[in-house]
Amino acid sequence: MTDKQHIEKPVAAMTEKPNRIPLLATGIAGFDQILGGGLPEGSLYLIQGLAGSGKTTLACQIGFMQAARGKKVMLLTLIAESHAKMLNHVSNFDFFDESLVGNQLIMFSAYNSLANEGLRGLLKLITAALSEHRPGVLIVDGFRSVRDSGPSDLNLSEFMHALNSLVFTMNCTTLLLSPVEGNIPESENTLVDGLIELSQYEHGMQLIREIKVFKIRGANHMLGKHVFEINQNGIEIFPRFEAVATRQNKVPGTSGEYVSVGIPSWDTCIGGGVVSGSVTCLLGSPGVGKTLMGLHFIEQGLKDRQKCLIVGFYESPERLTAKAKKAGMNIDAGLAGGDLEMIWQLPLETLGDDLAKRLLDNIARRGVTRLLIDGVEGMRNIVMQPGRNRSFLVALTNELRARGVTSMFTEQLPYFRESRPSADPSSSQLYENVMLLEYVARDEVNQRQISVMKLRENGYDGANRVMNISDNGISINGPVTIIRSSRGDDGQ
């Protein structure tokens, strides 16, 4: 047997057993992915979050989507707000369908029963409603009113036990909505089958929405926080990219094929090109030619009839095509014919997980084999949570390798440095290849040079070489012989 046959399979990659408890797919793709396929049916769930976190929108979206699939849905309110007002709030979302209201989706108010008869009266009303209408989904909005009604801990625990037994017997998946935060040791938290929290994360003047599953009994759910947004479709959840990558645990293959970077003179210096499916970093000062070199790489892919993708943050598609044309490259034909597409995203208030999903969806949909990410700093800027940058990029580069996409990332160095840059310690996990583009002073004139800092699986020329940019694009000339730094000191 070969060594490869002795490799133990990752636990996450093994075939999972089928669920004994059927799962209710919520219809919200990212949510179902976080939940491990959906909510185990006939169970009791608490969805909590402070005012404005999106609880009611999430529950109504699930309710309308289940009703559209033929399930009977019951919405029970424990707040004084009228049903007409609640429906008006969700009527602008695409999931809203007025024809379902009163038929597949029925609404009751239990506010008076709770206020006048306490927990016993509320349980009696719920029992009667479930027995009469036999809904598959029950949504109870304003559940915090149950605790605010002042029951003892024992009475509340008895109520929660009775409610859990009731919905299990009736096989009615039940969502309780409560305006609190935190996994606190109270009856409504400990006696439910699942606890889900919606919250907000503030970074400077920016605010992003997050969702976290504390527990789901009977499901293999993802841990940690995930971001979401509320848009015309309703709630759209983006599972944390690193968590998805960890669960999938994809192992990239190997390749002995080399692909051209689009500059023949540089291909010669690096042993014929870069390895297919590898990730290359073009590291350099502003204006030194990183983007232009990346465009050569893309143009070569178009010449080879490959599907290509450019993801940019600072230069619009129009500016990139103009830059390519000025350097003798024509990528317009690729754009017109569909072999090339561009995703341009200002690195402002957007979600990194959303961008990663759009990028990978584009790769899968079009069969992309060449990718240029122009300005990896933009990718880092939109991943706002502290400490996520490195793991996010590790997950992204591993995914690109696993899909066989040959990629180039441009990364910027400051204009002035005290010494020759050294590779970031994390670059070994991010990039197989690192190429350094920099300005040097020669005879009192700033000139461009290029060198290899790191190149895996290639024999290459390690000399610093002169790089010229003209109307014909980039050309790489002979080794630099006499170099002085831009500060006038001897080169190292």
How confident is the model at residue 426, as a pLDDT?
56
How confident is the model at residue 42, as a pLDDT?
95
Whether 339 has a pLDDT exceeding 50, the answer reads yes
* Other residues' Cβ atoms within 10 Å of the Cβ of residue 51: 7
Residue of 168, 195, 162 whose CA lies nearest to 181: 195
Whether 371 has a pLDDT exceeding 90, the answer reads yes
**Residue 45 one-letter amino acid:** Y
How confident is the model at residue 471, as a pLDDT?
92
pLDDT mean over 124-152: 92
Cβ atoms of 290 and 450 within 8 Å: the answer is no
| The Cα angle at residue 405 between residues 399 and 407, in degrees rounded to 5 | 95
How confident is the model at residue 151, as a pLDDT?
86
What would the 3-class secondary structure string for 220-248 be? CCCCCEEEEEEECCEEEEECCHHHHHHHH
Whether 200 has a pLDDT exceeding 60, the answer reads yes
Which CATH architecture describes the domain 258-479?
A: 3-Layer(aba) Sandwich (3.40)
How confident is the model at residue 148, as a pLDDT?
85
Residues in the chain: 492
Cα 437–chain centre separation: 31
* Other residues' Cβ atoms within 10 Å of the Cβ of residue 484: 14
Distances (CA, A) of 73 to 67, 103, 130, 146, 195: 6, 9, 10, 21, 20
How confident is the model at residue 492, as a pLDDT?
34
CA distance 154 to 157: 5
Note the pLDDT tens digit of each residue in 155-175: 999 999 999 999 999 999 999
Q: What is the pTM of this model?
A: 0.84
Which CATH architecture describes the domain 3-239?
A: 3-Layer(aba) Sandwich (3.40)
How confident is the model at residue 397, as a pLDDT?
95
CA distance 488 to 163: 79
Minimum mean pLDDT among 105-109, 204-208, 279-283, 293-297: which range?
A: 204-208
pLDDT mean over 224-232: 94
Cβ atoms of 467 and 437 within 8 Å: the answer is yes
Note the pLDDT tens digit of each residue in 38-48: 999 999 999 99
Q: How many CA atoms lie within 13 A of 347 on its CB side?
A: 17
pLDDT mean over 244-262: 89
Q: How many CA atoms lie within 13 A of 247 on its CB side?
A: 17
Burial (CB < 10 A; 0-12, 13-18, 19+), residue 479, is middle
User: Residue 460: which pLDDT band, with cuts at 50, 70 and 90?
Assistant: confident
Cβ atoms of 22 and 41 within 8 Å: the answer is yes
Domain ranges (residues) in the chain: 3-239, 258-479
Whether 424 has a pLDDT exceeding 60, the answer reads no
Q: Which two tokens stand for residue 277?
A: 């499916």
Note the pLDDT tens digit of each residue in 51-93: 889 999 999 999 999 999 999 999 999 976 678 888 888 999 9
Q: Do domains 3-239 and 258-479 have the same CATH topology?
A: yes
How confident is the model at residue 13, as a pLDDT?
44
What would the 3-class secondary structure string for the chain be? CCHHHHCCCCHHHCCCCCCCCCEECCCCHHHHHHHCCCEECCCEEEEECCCCCCHHHHHHHHHHHHHHCCCCEEEEECCCCCHHHHHHHHCCCCCCCHHHECCCEEEEECHHHHHHHHHHHHHHHHHHHHHHHCCCEEEEECCHHHHHCCCCHHHHHHHHHHHHHHHHHCCCEEEEEECCCCCCCCHHHHCCCEEEEEEEEEECCEEEEEEEEEEECCCCCCCCEEEEEEECCEEEEECCHHHHHHHHCCCCCCCCCEECCCCHHHHHHCCCCEECCCEEEEEECCCCCHHHHHHHHHHHHHHCCCCEEEEECCCCHHHHHHHHHHCCCCCHHHHHHCCEEEEECCCCCCCHHHHHHHHHHHHHHHCCCEEEEECHHHHHHHCCCCCHHHHHHHHHHHHHHHCCCEEEEEEECCCCCCCCCCCCCCHHHHCCEEEEEEEEEECCEEEEEEEEEEECCCCCCCCCEEEEEECCEEEEEEECCCCECCCCCECC
How confident is the model at residue 199, as a pLDDT?
94
Whether 49 has a pLDDT exceeding 60, the answer reads yes
Whether 476 has a pLDDT exceeding 70, the answer reads yes
Note the pLDDT tens digit of each residue in 212-227: 999 999 888 999 999 9
How confident is the model at residue 461, as a pLDDT?
81
